């Protein structure tokens, strides 16, 4: 009997390190954490070649479907203006500019009409950072202090600004948001 008790005792001592290894070690130190950047929302669109850390001007320049807008912003000397914000830009695609009547294109491209070009481009910018979910059917003032009519149709998941339809919403920038539209939005004085 003494031998069995002794054997049980020895088995218990031999198994003690095994049990100790299976329980959590309270004194173990966790490795130091590194500064890992937070994961961004992968559903937020970003222009190809751009990052959310870029301002509206940088995001527009990086988007291959907005080259005409990029060139016109430079011609109109509005690059500094778009550095402020926050703004919501309804950005006409290259196809939208191509669809303009020839007379209007020629008129806007003439050097003596730079102020007119600035007015047209300012008509696409609304103060504030308005994502597609925040846009409501109402009239809002643009950067050029002219109103545009925003119409939202939630049933068809559609947003219109005057006659232009948003074809790519919510492209994020550091100082606002860009919605690509299928038409150039012209102020009433230019149509």
What pLDDT shows up at residue 189?
75
Q: How many CB atoms lie within 10 A of CB 56?
A: 27
The candidate with the shortest Cα–Cα distance to 93, out of 171, 6, 172, is: 171
133, pLDDT greater than 60:
yes
pLDDT of residue 98: 96
The answer to whether residues 149 and 162 touch, using CB atoms and an 8 Å cutoff, is yes
pLDDT digits (tens, 9 = 90+) for 10-56: 334 434 333 344 444 444 444 443 333 333 333 344 444 445 589 99
pTM of the model: 0.72
Q: Where is 99: in which H helix or E strand?
A: none
Is the pLDDT at 115 greater than 80? The verdict is: yes
Only one residue has tokens 């504030």, namely 128
Question: Into how many domains does the chain fold?
Answer: 1
User: Over 60: is that where the pLDDT of 99 sits?
Assistant: yes
Residue 153 in any domain: the answer is: yes
Mean pLDDT (the chain) is 78
16 belongs to a structural domain: no
The two three-digit tokens of residue 191, written as one number = 């149509």
Using only C-alpha atoms, the chain has a radius of gyration, in whole angstroms, of: 30
- Contact, 153 vs 140, CB < 8 A? no
Containing domain of residue 78, as a range? Answer: 56-181
Per-residue model confidence (pLDDT) at position 182: 97
Q: What is the CATH number of the domain that holds 104?
A: 2.30.180.10
More confident residue, 167 or 52: 167
pLDDT at 51: 53
Asked if the structure places residue 108 within a domain, the reply is yes
Q: Is residue 100 situated within a structural domain?
A: yes
Domain assignment present for residue 143? The answer is: yes
Interval 38-48: pLDDT, tens: 333 333 444 44
**Residue 33 forms part of a structural domain:** no
Domain contains 25:
no
CB atoms within 10 A of CB 58: 19
Instruction: Please determine, for residue 7, whether its predicted confidence score (pLDDT) is greater than 50.
Output: no
In a domain, 155, yes or no: yes
């Amino acid at each position: 009997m003494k031998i069995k008790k002794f054997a049980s005792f020895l088995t218990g001592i031999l198994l003690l390190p095994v049990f100790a290894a299976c329980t959590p070690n309270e004194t173990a130190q966790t490795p130091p954490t590194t500064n890992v950047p937070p994961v961004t929302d992968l559903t937020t669109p970003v222009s190809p070649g751009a990052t959310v850390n870029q301002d509206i001007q940088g995001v527009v320049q990086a988007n291959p479907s907005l080259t005409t807008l990029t060139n016109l912003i430079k011609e109109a000397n509005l690059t500094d203006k778009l550095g402020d914000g926050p703004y919501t830009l309804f950005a006409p695609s290259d196809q939208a500019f191509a669809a303009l009547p020839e007379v209007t294109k020629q008129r806007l491209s003439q050097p003596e009409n730079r102020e007119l070009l600035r007015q047209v481009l300012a008509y696409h910018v609304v103060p504030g950072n308005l994502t597609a979910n925040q846009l409501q059917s109402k009239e809002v003032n643009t950067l050029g202090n002219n109103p545009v009519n925003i119409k939202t149709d939630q049933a068809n998941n559609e947003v219109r600004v005057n006659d232009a339809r948003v074809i790519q919403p919510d492209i994020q920038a550091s100082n606002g948001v860009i919605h690509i539209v299928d038409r150039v939005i012209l102020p009433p004085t230019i149509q």
